[in-house]
Amino acid sequence: MSHPYDALSPDLILDAVESVGFEVNGSMLALNSYENRVLQIGLEEQQPVIAKFYRPQRWTDEAILEDHQYSMELAEQEIPVVAPLRNQQQSLFEYQGFRFALYPRQGGRNPNLENLDHLEWIGRFLGRIHAVGASKPFVHRENLDVQSLGWQSIHWLKAKDILPPEHAARYLALCEALLHQIDDIFAQQDLNSLRLHGDCHPGNILWTDQGPHFVDMDDCRNGPAIQDLWMLLSGDRQEMSLQLSELLEGYRLFQDFDSRQLQLIEPLRSLRLIHYSTWLARRWDDPAFPKAFPWFNTSAYWQEQIAILEQQQQLLQQPPLSVY
């Protein structure tokens, strides 16, 4: 079965970058990205650039440009977010049916989240990001809510009938029960929504001697501030409470934080688990996915997901994390 990315040949990639005015030297390195195709492209007598070729039919042009505009707003405030390069005031380009953007290469290593000073440092920048994000909402990008991440996911799984028969009923029943609980929790909240990074896990923060910088705003959306904090937490409750306290110590220097949002951490984790499984299923016709995720859609995978979601049911009943 053919896939739209089948036409994204090395020659097309290099020609696309040259069409924007860069002189390529022929070197190319594929980077760790599956939703889009992201590559480091070597240039003649210049530093390489990073080329992101957007997955066809995923985003509208308007939604992509809102991502770019938000990144550029942050960069203009000297917040370390890697923003797209512009050519003649344009940041979104098209070549032979593929939309793409170019970014400066900025390396780094994974942040050391066991270092509390590093967490406080990250928190300061997240506070600054959210201070800008709170100034106006996205218009063309999705909201982070139970409907889009949760209910739409399981409705799609039901319609496609792809789950192993021995696990389908139990998995879907667990998802529905969790989503009803999460609906109730969200309904009890009256929280402000702002423009988020949206996928602020440690892999999207690169660390150098100058501190952190944030990459890959591809999932930016409107939602509660805690979404950009909880994925940086790990360990038991005491460890996560300490980590969150350090993040918020830096965050609150630049942006208020409503402590009621702590109640949303486990609901958001549950939504991410459900959405991630559905994302893998939706992309299974892309040849890159079976190669990268060979364990997906096996009986063992769904059995493990059932166990994880059963644990999430228990965690939803616990009080929220405390902050020191």
Amino acid 237: pLDDT: 94
Beta bridge partners of residue 100, listed in sequence order = 53, 93
**Alpha-carbon dihedral angle through residues 308, 312, 315, 321, given to the nearest 10 degrees:** 90
Q: Quick: pLDDT tens for 12-25.
A: 999 999 999 999 99
Catalytic residues: 199, 216
Q: Quick: pLDDT tens for 258-280.
A: 999 999 999 999 999 999 999 99
Q: Residue 1 above 80 pLDDT?
A: no
Using CA atoms, how far apart are residues 229 and 211, in angstroms rounded to an integer?
17
Is residue 27 within 8 Å of residue 42, measured between CB atoms?
A: yes
Structure tokens at 133: 């994000």
Task: For residue 91, give the nearest of 107, 75, 71, 105 by alpha carbon.
Answer: 71
Buried b (16+ CB within 10 A) or exposed e, 121-137: bbbbbbbbbbbbbeeee
Q: Residue 191 above 90 pLDDT?
A: no
What are the structural domains, with CATH classification, of the chain? 4-104 (3.30.200.70), 116-316 (1.10.510.10)
Q: Quick: pLDDT tens for 236-245.
A: 999 999 999 9
Buried b (16+ CB within 10 A) or exposed e, 241-274: bbbbbbbbbbbeebbebeeebbbbbbbbbbbbbb
